[in-house]
Structure 1
Amino acid sequence: MRDDASLTWHPAEGHGEEVVYAVDGPLGRVRLNRPRAINALDRASVDSLLHQLRRWADDDRIAAVVLDGAGERGLCAGGDVRALREAILAGRSQEAVDYWEAEYAVDALVADYPKPYVAWMDGIVMGGGVGVSAHGSVRLVTERTQLAMPEVIIGFFPDVAGLHPLSRAPGETGTHVALTGAPVGGADALLVGMADALVPSTVKEQVLAALREDPTQDARSLAARVGGEEAETSWLEHQRPWIDECYRGDDPAEILRRLREHTAPQAHQAAELISARSPHSVAVALEALRRAARMSIPEVLAQDLRLGPVFAAHPDFAEGVRAQLVDKDRQPRWQHASVADVPRAAVLAAFGT
């Protein structure tokens, strides 16, 4: 069986080694290549992906694209928000907006890719990592997968069109994922529509071998080929009685009240998580989630791009990144004391309404 060591990996023409590529028989292999940063997507990574994926879309040698991440920790920890914060604090907010525009162009390309796009979503898959994987046509998670849209933790909102599948998830499971920012496992990723099949983390080479034989195989065929899905139950499905009851509606303060008053201890834990997040982020994220239910992926990405400058100008983003990733004191000082203090008018203004 061929392994990755036998391949010749190289950067895209005119780009750096933040992402590397290889031709593996009929497969175009894409590897996010910043393992020390859990493959976080900086601007160079985004530009490289956009360049190479466009080239391979028109390359008859490439029958399918396969994405994975370098290192042992996971596919991708998200966007390089530390760099975005630095640009904003230096008065270069347009750099952040330009980054999001380029990132969302990659996500749109993945969602509409003309060939099978296979994402190996092992380990950590968060934020921007969801954007380059969960919109693909063949999305494989494992027992090691920790998937999250954690943006409300840093004073941002769930972007990269992650709200498209979350707004369509069963009951209010997507609302829980969006408002808590907490990671979920592979079975939960299936439930909320961000993955297609759960396979053992040990079968990657078997999956690649099967794709070399037939690059058009879907996720279920691949899962059956490599020994079936891992036996794992969905935590979110098991928790749906309180999730569906508490998260309904458009009022984040009312959602928090229901969570705090519910008899399920898991509801109280969720309330504590949401209370620690940026109140502005939670309020806007809930509104964006509800609107996303009526939108296509390109429309959600357009909404994301409208919201980006709003968050770049809001103090919670710089403060959230500081507390979580720069000083790491985990003690953010948010602009509002609670979601009840975020004016509804301010939430609607973020959408231009």
Structure 2
Amino acid sequence: MSEQSVLVPSVLTEENGSARSLILNRPKSINAIDHEMATEIAERLDEWAGDDSVAAVVLYGAGERGLCAGGDIVAIHRDASALSGNPDSTDIDAENSPSARFWFDEYRLNAAISSYPKSYVAIMDGIVMGGGVGVSAHGNVRIVTDRTRLAMPEVGIGFVPDVGGTHLLSRVPDGLGLYAGLTAAHLRGADAIAMGLADHFVPSESLPAFIEAIGASGVDAAIAEYATEAPESELAAQRGWISEAFAAETISGIIERCHVVGTEAATKTADTIAAKSPTALAVTLRSLREAANDATLEDTLVREYRVSLRCLLHPDMAEGIRAQVIDKDRNPSWAEFSEADVDAFFAPLPHDLTFSA
């Protein structure tokens, strides 16, 4: 019996003194976010923003495996398979795609989180990937732990980092954001703090007491009592060669520079990138570089919405999800890459993402 068939709410809420908790509640799928969950979170945040009795919102995931493994990838695969296999699908919007409707509301949620008027405490414990980054890393109080494994893994499935991920990664110095976006590397809590993607390190064993203290004593007091110094970041220690290699103008140039560095880590990085979708890599590189010049997160999300919908039309997304998630053969057959095709991902849509009510 599936989680949904037993009518268990996919988002739970709890009152904790002056705080309110949002609990992502699909533990069997590591709390993967679907459209219903995004809508529910947005409604609760809007409600609590106007409630003077609420001082803080705390977001965390049910179960032991993590905050959120991303979006409902199986549903997205169905959509991508139908659209990429239809020669008449020349463009796409929320009228003809469930994924487009989901992303429209999800990206608006990401923007709302980034400007939330109260303390928004995201507990980034365990697996935090894709959409999980979107509902956590835009918050104003971001907590990582010794169990955190954060990633934007999209290029491995023929997709491009979204949910404001290109905005976040483009602002990480020394090429570390490009590294994370192009390799889909798993980042530990210490890495996330060193990269500016998180703010405080709380040992996982202290999380229940920490969450309770937020409601009882306030966010600042809870952080003062339970946050500890993060370990050294292994990724930040490699910033020297990463900065040099990822300054190249093209994907092939980045791979070549990694081989020139020649260390085990650099060579492995080159091989990792080379195995990803060539189209997704090129679009990701351009997305990250354009996002670096955006004035607002909303500017980035408009571009990401265009890119995400065009990915649904490209065969690499359906093929990448098939290989990694559906059949799990880990052997995708990527489409032939053409640099001339990249521009089409960024063209305006018939109905672009908007942020008005």
Q: Distance in 1 between matches of 2:192 and 2:96?
A: 33
- Report the alpha carbon displacement of residue 16 of structure 1 after superposing the two structures with TM: 6.4
Q: Deviations over 1:76-113 (max 9, x none)?
A: 00001210111233459521111111110111111111
1:225 aligns with 2:225: yes
Equivalent of 1:348 in 337, 343, 349 = 343
The TM-score with structure 2 as length reference comes to 0.89
2:114 aligns to what?
Answer: 111
1:120-199 alignment runs, 5 A limit = 120-199=123-202
1:315 aligns to what?
Answer: 315
Q: Distance in 2 between matches of 1:66 and 1:272?
A: 39
- Report the alpha carbon displacement of residue 216 of structure 1 after superposing the two structures with TM: 4.6
SS at match of 2:59: strand
Q: Distance in 1 between matches of 2:97 and 2:229?
A: 45
SS at match of 1:235: coil
Q: Does the Cα contact within 8 Å between 2:150 and 2:188 map onto a contact in 1?
A: yes
Q: Distance in 1 between matches of 2:82 and 2:8?
A: 25
| Structure 1 gaps, min length 5 | 1-14, 337-341
SS at match of 1:39: coil
Q: Distance in 1 between matches of 2:96 and 2:237?
A: 43
Q: Distance in 2 between matches of 1:175 and 1:289?
A: 7
1:289 aligns with 2:315: no
Paired residues, number: 330
Q: Does the Cα contact within 8 Å between 1:140 and 1:199 map onto a contact in 2?
A: yes
Q: Deviations over 1:150-208 (max 9, x none)?
A: 00011100101111121111210001000000101001111222100112111112322
The TM-score with structure 1 as length reference comes to 0.90
Counterpart code for 2:98: E
SS at match of 1:30: strand
Equivalent of 2:209 in 206, 211, 218 = 206
| Structure 2 gaps, min length 5 | 1-6, 84-94, 349-357
1:78 aligns to what?
Answer: 70
Q: Distance in 1 between matches of 2:22 and 2:219?
A: 17
Q: Distance in 1 between matches of 2:222 and 2:288?
A: 32
1:272 aligns to what?
Answer: 271
2:330 aligns to what?
Answer: 330
Counterpart code for 1:130: V
Counterpart code for 1:264: T
SS at match of 2:138: coil
- Report the alpha carbon displacement of residue 349 of structure 1 after superposing the two structures with TM: 2.5
Q: Does the Cα contact within 8 Å between 1:142 and 1:200 map onto a contact in 2?
A: yes
Q: Distance in 1 between matches of 2:267 and 2:205?
A: 36
Q: Distance in 2 between matches of 1:160 and 1:214?
A: 32
1:60 aligns to what?
Answer: 52
Percent of residue pairs identical: 44
2:92 aligns to what?
Answer: none
Q: Distance in 2 between matches of 1:247 and 1:93?
A: 38
- Report the alpha carbon displacement of residue 114 of structure 1 after superposing the two structures with TM: 1.0
Q: Which has the higher contact order (CA 8 A, sep 6+)?
A: 2
Counterpart code for 2:279: H
Q: Distance in 2 between matches of 1:32 and 1:38?
A: 9
